[in-house]
């Protein structure tokens, strides 16, 4: 019996040592943007995972053999690809998904009889640029105005973008851009937020029960992720609103992409021409501008380097 146990242990150790790995990135075929939360799995074994914030996935402990990789993501066609793995093989497979229009039919919602015990999620809400642009806004889409319309979020006044979440103060929220803390996220006394919607990929709001890595604030966490840019071709976009003029440029970079968004208000240029001279002379010229940029490069098959930049300046000229 003892010999059989030792022999079985040796066989299991050999099989475990001969396992293989599949990894890579999942992105949009039209723009090259990475897709967050895409489901990647092997049809034969069911092994898989969801892609992370960079669109990266890795499936480990795969026994050698023939497999079919399947990738699913809402709004894109199902991806299927056959592959063969040898012993101790590490294979990188980058996947580009093709967009597909999804036609929704009537949906019937019913309550579950028993609540799932493993469905324990914190108070977390993810916002996409499409949701921000669809929400009511003052002159132009604003990230903080969209958040103020969410449950559990209040405002100090109708003219302020300050976020009062679960009874906390506006300075008790941790606001981050690509993992870096932003200490002054508003202009004009809190009337407008600093972030340009066209330069934002996703905004994650955690209203409670956040991890220890976000320590230092008492109320909530707002983590903003910048767009990566178009990896396939150069594109430009320009918006003109009652508040400001915006420009967004993006294009491919060495094994990666870049995106640059800029915004400037023109209060100082418009008000003197609209208001009477006796009133405009008593209003100090004021304007602000924001520059938001992100660039990344996959320097190797396993390493990615990225750089994020933000600059926002408000100018108030008072003549003595």
For residue 251, what pLDDT is reported?
93
Question: Of 66-70, 125-129, 309-313, which gets the smallest average pLDDT?
Answer: 125-129
- Pull the structure tokens for residue 210: 């956040």
- Is a pLDDT exceeding 70 seen at residue 243? yes
For residue 308, the cross-strand partners are: 294
For residue 248, what pLDDT is reported?
93
Using the CB atoms, write b or e for 170-202: b if 16+ within 10 Å.
bebbbbbbbeeebeebbbbebebbbbbbbbbbb
**Cα–Cα distance measured from residue 270 to residue 75, given in angstroms and rounded to the nearest whole number:** 42
- Pull the structure tokens for residue 18: 């001969």
Neighbours of 112 (CB within 10 A): 7
Identify the top-confidence range among 125-134, 277-286, 300-309: 300-309
Q: Do residues 26 and 97 make contact, with C-beta atoms less than 8 angstroms apart?
A: yes
Mean pLDDT of the chain, nearest integer: 81
SS3 at position 33: coil
Neighbours of 271 (CB within 10 A): 14
CATH superfamily of 124-316: TonB-dependent receptor, plug domain (2.170.130.10)
For residue 319, what pLDDT is reported?
62
Confidence of residue 2 (pLDDT cuts 50, 70, 90): very low
From edge to edge, which strands make up the β-sheet containing 305-316?
235-240, 244-253, 256-265, 286-297, 305-316
**What mean pLDDT do residues 58-82 have?**
90
CA distances to 210, 227, 229, 237 from 248, rounded to whole Å, are: 33, 11, 10, 5
**What mean pLDDT do residues 77-86 have?**
90
For residue 25, report the phi and psi dihedrals to the nearest 5 degrees: -120, 145
**What mean pLDDT do residues 209-226 have?**
80
- Is a pLDDT exceeding 70 seen at residue 277? yes
For residue 171, report the phi and psi dihedrals to the nearest 5 degrees: -90, 5
Calculate the CA dihedral of residues 14, 16, 20, 24 and round it to 10 degrees.
Answer: -160
Residue limits of CATH 2.170.130.10 in the chain: 124-316
**What mean pLDDT do residues 101-111 have?**
73
For residue 116, what pLDDT is reported?
52
- Pull the structure tokens for residue 120: 């324990």
Question: Of 11-15, 142-146, 232-236, which gets the smallest average pLDDT?
Answer: 11-15
For residue 140, what pLDDT is reported?
77
Residue limits of CATH 2.60.40.1120 in the chain: 19-97
Q: Do residues 250 and 235 make contact, with C-beta atoms less than 8 angstroms apart?
A: yes
**What mean pLDDT do residues 235-264 have?**
89
- Pull the structure tokens for residue 168: 């906390």
**Cα–Cα distance measured from residue 200 to residue 147, given in angstroms and rounded to the nearest whole number:** 14
Architecture of the domain spanning 19-97? Sandwich (2.60)
Confidence of residue 121 (pLDDT cuts 50, 70, 90): low
């Amino acid at each position: 019996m003892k010999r059989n146990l030792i022999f079985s242990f040796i066989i299991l150790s050999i099989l475990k040592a001969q396992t293989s790995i599949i990894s890579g990135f999942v992105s949009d075929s039209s723009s090259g943007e990475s897709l967050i939360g895409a489901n990647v799995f092997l049809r034969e074994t069911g092994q898989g995972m969801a892609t992370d914030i960079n669109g990266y996935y890795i499936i480990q402990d795969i026994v050698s053999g023939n497999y079919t990789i399947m990738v699913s993501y809402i709004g894109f066609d199902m991806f299927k690809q056959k592959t063969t793995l040898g012993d101790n093989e590490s294979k990188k497979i980058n996947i580009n998904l093709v967009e597909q229009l999804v036609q929704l039919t009537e949906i019937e919602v019913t309550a579950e009889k028993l609540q799932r015990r493993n469905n324990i999620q914190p108070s977390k809400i993810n916002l996409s640029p499409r949701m921000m642009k669809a929400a009511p806004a003052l002159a132009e889409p604003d990230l903080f105005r969209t958040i103020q319309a969410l449950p559990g979020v209040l405002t100090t006044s109708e003219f302020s973008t300050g976020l009062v979440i679960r009874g906390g103060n506006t300075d008790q929220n941790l606001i981050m851009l690509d993992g870096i803390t932003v200490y002054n996220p508003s202009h004009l006394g809190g009337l407008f937020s600093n972030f340009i919607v066209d330069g934002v990929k996703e905004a994650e709001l955690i209203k409670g029960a956040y991890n220890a890595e976000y320590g230092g604030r008492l109320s909530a966490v707002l983590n903003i992720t910048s767009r990566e840019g178009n990896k396939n071709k150069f594109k430009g976009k320009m918006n003109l609103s009652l508040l400001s003029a915006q420009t967004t440029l993006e294009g491919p970079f060495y094994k990666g992409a870049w995106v640059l968004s800029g915004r400037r208000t023109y209060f100082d240029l418009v008000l003197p021409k609209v208001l009477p001279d006796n009133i405009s002379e008593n209003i100090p010229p004021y304007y602000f501008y924001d520059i938001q940029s992100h660039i990344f490069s996959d320097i190797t098959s396993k390493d990615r380097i990225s750089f994020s930049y933000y600059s926002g300046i408000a100018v108030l000229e008072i003549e003595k």
